[in-house]
Amino acid sequence: MMKLLLVALALPALALAADTKCNMASESLYPPKPETALPWHDINLDLPAQERWVNVTKPLAPQISDMVYQVIDLLPSYLREKVMAALDQGADKILDAFPEDFGDEIRGIANATGIDVGALIVYNIAYEIEGGCTSLVARDGQNRTFHARNLDFGLFFGWDKANETWALTEKLRPLLFNARIWKGGKVMYNATYFAGYVGLLTGMKTGGFSITVDTRYDNTFWKGLIEFFEGDTSGHFVGFTTRQVMESQATYAEALQALQSYKMVGPSYMILGGVQPNEGAIITRSMNESLHLWTLENDAHNTGFYVIETNYDNWVDPPFYDNRRGPAETCLQQIGTDNVEFDSLFNMLSAQPNLNLLTTYTTLMNVAEGRFEAYHQKCTTHPCTPW
């Protein structure tokens, strides 16, 4: 039955993968409808750690609870056994191994929502387990730099046949918001969040740099995560690392160096944007090192004006069953440097297969101008590629 389901789901993806044409709509979809804009909330880092996220998470407690237990129920059995065994020995030990005061922030969310702290721990490391995304940094003809991303999440976390949706993806949608992160009476950075998560998957420091994260799959994908829950806590979780860098570094150059220096729990792609024309990079990370650096400056792939990541190493062809890179690059070449802007990038990210049944939001960033916009995204075209 599962094999038949996978074949049925794969057919739309395979049809699109066979053709790398740009599928942007003939008429612009930007600006999107006002109701799709994510709500804004303020997170004050000057507050005690356990109080910082209460204003957002307490009203959404039922939705967060529903979502986190779905994550646990659908974990692969061998990983769930390791995680549950570690939690049985004490969640506090795991929280204390998290950097900064992130552990106390999670304790505060647990207190505010009544959700078991162990379940929230699993939620906060879930992006190490699964995630599919499109991230890009592009330069326009006036040497302005733009950073845009789709975040896709929930593959194989329960398929709703009646509605043709991924169960976990749908549970994440109500949790989305934009955050103004305050420190010392000033906004330190902006970020797009799922309520209850304290890491950083999408963020921008005005005048400094922007960061997005894409999942990377390699032969060490589970290794570091299992080692962490078996007691080796020397590795860093990607969302915690990017938040630390956002809060500790001031410039693109500093962030680029810092992101390559950490030992990680697992592999990842870290996409970085800046304020200068050549400040755009994709860092391909393994657990222990930076494997590859593709920047607007070195233009290793001769694109001319962009770097792009779709969950596969950019120096090899994506697999035939998940070629989101090809259509995206065709769209970017069609857009050209003269037309790189929020509208064209939104239209590109609203086209299949980069928009798919896993897509939850699109964020658009311009670091130099301090522009940060994020919108709910949902593929309603039938058929829609499942990933």
Q: Which residue has the tokens 């995680």?
A: 83
d(Cα 270, Cα 213) in Å, to the nearest integer?
5
Show which residues are catalytic: 133
Neighbours of 38 (CB within 10 A): 18
d(Cα 272, Cα 361) in Å, to the nearest integer?
18
DSSP H helices, 174-324, are: 223-229, 238-248, 252-259
Neighbours of 23 (CB within 10 A): 20
d(Cα 367, Cα 369) in Å, to the nearest integer?
6
Return the C-alpha torsion angle 230, 262, 107, 154, nearest 10: -80
DSSP for 31-80, please give it.
SPPGGGBPPEEEEETTS-GGGTTHHHHTTTHHHHHHHHHHHHHTS-HHHH
- Answer for the pair 292, 235: CB distance below 8 angstroms, yes or no: no
Taken in order 194, 195, 197, 199, is the CA torsion positive or negative?
A: positive
Upstream peptide bond of 34 is cis (omega within 30 degrees of 0): no
DSSP for 147-164, please give it.
EEEEEE--TTS-EETTTT
Q: Which of 179, 372, 182, 144 is nearest to 274 (CA)?
A: 144
d(Cα 47, Cα 41) in Å, to the nearest integer?
15
Q: Which of 372, 359, 344, 355 is nearest to 31 (CA)?
A: 344
d(Cα 361, Cα 151) in Å, to the nearest integer?
6
